[in-house]
Structure 1
Amino acid sequence: MPEVTTRTRTVSLPGGEVVLSWAEVTDTGRRREANQDAVLASYPLYVVADGMGGHIGGEIASASTIDRLRGVVEAGGVSPKTIEKAIGRAVKDIISHPETTDDGTGTTLTGVFLDATENPPHWVTLNIGDSRVYLLRDGEITQVTTDHSVVQELMASGRLSPEEAENHPYGNVITRAVGPSESVKPDYVRLDVVDGDRFVICSDGLTKELTDYGIRHFLDENRDPSDAVQAMLHAALENGGRDNVTIIVLDVARPSD
């Protein structure tokens, strides 16, 4: 089990301080030879990328995307505009790399960032593909992002039930990715900054092995983010670990509330 630690940052915002606590973990799983996931958890941006395509192509795609986004964090000014510029640069990196092709090479990208430029400040979730952002608020867990997948489109059209989706043969086929085939922009969702919120940002290696109820169970049982990500990773591996598993747990506290 990888070593995991919880980091904390106090942010001064209009209306009072916000204390953020987070931890992240990534693991190859039990059936894959390499880990094609990549993760960035650095205030104010918390994202997961799940690569695909060839033996090494997916690893290059996810790493390139995360590296470009790390540059945005280091430069300051995380916004939809700077994120999309970084994605564009990552696509060029993927195209120019000698070990990638456009035959299925790409990566998902999902996560959240804190936008403190407006009053009131707010969270923004971003998503391309079928990695997910969940929010636990007031005891209820909600999937904030919408999967870009064949199965999700079939469910949305009423041609597939949630039960049928569990074992659908196209369960791994996504309809949008960061890659050389086309220019894509993330979907964005804006959320209030609320005391007690807990975000889970994860690749589908977690959601293949744990239901939404299971994710909530491990959040309820583990108040510390590092304990929560380790418990979820352990459960995912015990349930089969069929894919790479990457998880961020991000907690929000507003002491003045």
Structure 2
Amino acid sequence: MRVGGASDAGRVRKQNEDAFWFDERLLIVADGMGGHAAGDVAANLALNAARAAIAAESPGTGSREEVVRRAIAAANLEVYQRASGDPRLYGMGTTLTLAWIVEGRAVVGHVGDSRAYHATRERLLQLTADHSVVAELVRSGGLRESEAQFHPYRNLLTRAIGTAPHVEADVTSVDLGPGEALLLCTDGLTAVLDDAEIHRTLMEERDPQACALRLVEMANARGGPDNITAVVAVMEGR
């Protein structure tokens, strides 16, 4: 497994409130929200809490899916307690998407609208469903996909880390074959690049660090209206 990541504030925002982390077994992205740099605090708190929770797990403590759920719950509680105890951080929150890779299988958990994708030579599969008002309207048939990009509530989340003492995470898993790729990214990327562009880039640029940088550069070339983060993992093989 080869992994790389990149992040940029974009062309509009002064501060980057995204956070990311990766090694050969764990990928994490978070997109913080909250005024006066509270979003940056939330994103990094969630990332570090989830990372520590997974590192502390020992064999036999439950299924991998349960481990990921516990890690996300720990991240949520960490952010919520900090926000509740500091008036300067009140109301802060973050998205959180992580992939824990064990023996060629990725267990993906998420809260919010930061996405995970699985790319094979033939297709790009979105592994996560956005927890946003607009995405739920699209799924229920109340809004067309073509209308979602310009909807006034497109950035309004229905679930986030740290805004309540408990949050429900979605968890799924996927087997990664030789040469296949995994992408975790914030909505600053997916708001301006379509699936075909993302898939083509993942297949053309096989070095994960160069691929992550290229995706961020492409989003900035489209105006970079938000913070942009991409973490790419590629399985060894053809």
Q: Is TM > 0.5 for Structure 1 vs Structure 2?
A: yes
Question: Which aligned pairs between 1:1-257 and structure 2 lie closer than 5 A?
Answer: 20-75=1-56, 77=58, 79-94=64-79, 95-96=81-82, 98=86, 99-102=88-91, 105-116=92-103, 122-254=105-237
Structure 1 segments (4+ residues) deviating >6 Å? none
Displacement of 1:30 = 1.3
Give ranges in structure 2 of 5+ residues lacking alignment.
none
Distance in 1 (alpha carbons) for counterparts of 2:112 and 2:232: 20
CA contact (8 A) 2:4 2:232 kept: yes
Distance in 2 (alpha carbons) for counterparts of 1:61 and 1:187: 20
SS in structure 2 of the partner of residue 253 of structure 1: coil
CA contact (8 A) 2:106 2:175 kept: yes
CA contact (8 A) 2:161 2:167 kept: yes
Displacement of 1:254 = 4.8
Superposition RMSD on alpha carbons, in Å? Answer: 2.0
Give ranges in structure 1 of 5+ residues lacking alignment.
1-19
CA contact (8 A) 1:61 1:90 kept: no
Larger helix fraction of residues: 2
SS in structure 2 of the partner of residue 201 of structure 1: strand
CA contact (8 A) 1:42 1:73 kept: no
Structure 1, 242-251 or 175-184: larger mean CA deviation: 175-184
Distance in 1 (alpha carbons) for counterparts of 2:113 and 2:78: 22
TM-score (norm 1): 0.82
Distance in 1 (alpha carbons) for counterparts of 2:58 and 2:154: 36
CA contact (8 A) 1:28 1:35 kept: yes
Larger strand fraction of residues: 1
Aligned residues: 230
Give the share of equivalent positions with the same residue, in percent: 35
SS in structure 2 of the partner of residue 199 of structure 1: strand
